[in-house]
C-alpha cells in the first residue's frame, strides 16, 4: 500500500477525523478507534515509514522522540504513576494491520503478560 492510501497518513493530513491528544512537527498521537484499555493511544511519525523493518539507521532519532512523546502523554492522561505499556506490532505474525509505523500506548487498567 502506498502512502497515498495510508489511513494514518490521512489522519496526519486531517483528511479523516481522529481524536488527537498530542501533535508536533514530527509526531502525532491519537486515540485508538478500537481501544483495548481505558487509555489506548496510537503514536506515529508524520513521515510515512511502513514498519520497523523499513526504518533506516539515519531515521532512528524519531524513535527516541516517540518515546519522549509517549512519556509526556502518560503524564497528561494521568497514567504515568500507575504504569503503562508501549507496543509495536510488526508484520503479519506481529499483528500489524496498518502499514505505517506506530506504537500503541496502553494503560488505565492492569495489563496481562504475555500478550496473546
| Residues identified as active-site | 102
Instruction: Indicate which single residue of 48, 65, 71, 72 sits in contact with Zn ion (rule: CB under 5 A).
Output: 48
Q: Between 52 and 98, whose beta carbon lies closer to ligand AMP?
A: 98
Neighbours of 100 (CB within 10 A): 22
Tell me how far, at minimum, the Cβ of 32 lies from ligand AMP, in Å. Answer: 5
Contacts of 20 (CB under 8 A, 6+ apart): 28, 29, 30
Q: Where are the beta strands (DSSP E) in the chain?
A: 20-23, 27-31, 39-45, 84-87, 103-107
Q: Between 30 and 84, whose beta carbon lies closer to ligand AMP?
A: 30
Binding track, positions 97-116, relative to Zn ion; x by CB under 5 A:
---x----------------
Site for ligand AMP, rule CB under 6 A: 7, 16, 18, 30, 32-34, 42, 89, 95-98
Q: Specify which residues 105 forms β-bridges with.
A: 41, 86
Amino acid at each position: 500500500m502506498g502512502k497515498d492510501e495510508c489511513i494514518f497518513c490521512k489522519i496526519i493530513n486531517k483528511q479523516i477525523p481522529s481524536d488527537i491528544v498530542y501533535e508536533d512537527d514530527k509526531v502525532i498521537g491519537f486515540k485508538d478507534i478500537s481501544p483495548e484499555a481505558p487509555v489506548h493511544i496510537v503514536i506515529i511519525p508524520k513521515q510515512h515509514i511502513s514498519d520497523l523493518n523499513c526504518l533506516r539507521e539515519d531515521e532512528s532519532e524519531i524513535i527516541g522522540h516517540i518515546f519522549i512523546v509517549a512519556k509526556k502523554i502518560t503524564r497528561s492522561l494521568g497514567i504515568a504513576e500507575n504504569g503503562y505499556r508501549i507496543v509495536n506490532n510488526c508484520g503479519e505474525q506481529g499483528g500489524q494491520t496498518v502499514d505505517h509505523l506506530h506504537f500503541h500506548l496502553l494503560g488505565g487498567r492492569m495489563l496481562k503478560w504475555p500478550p496473546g
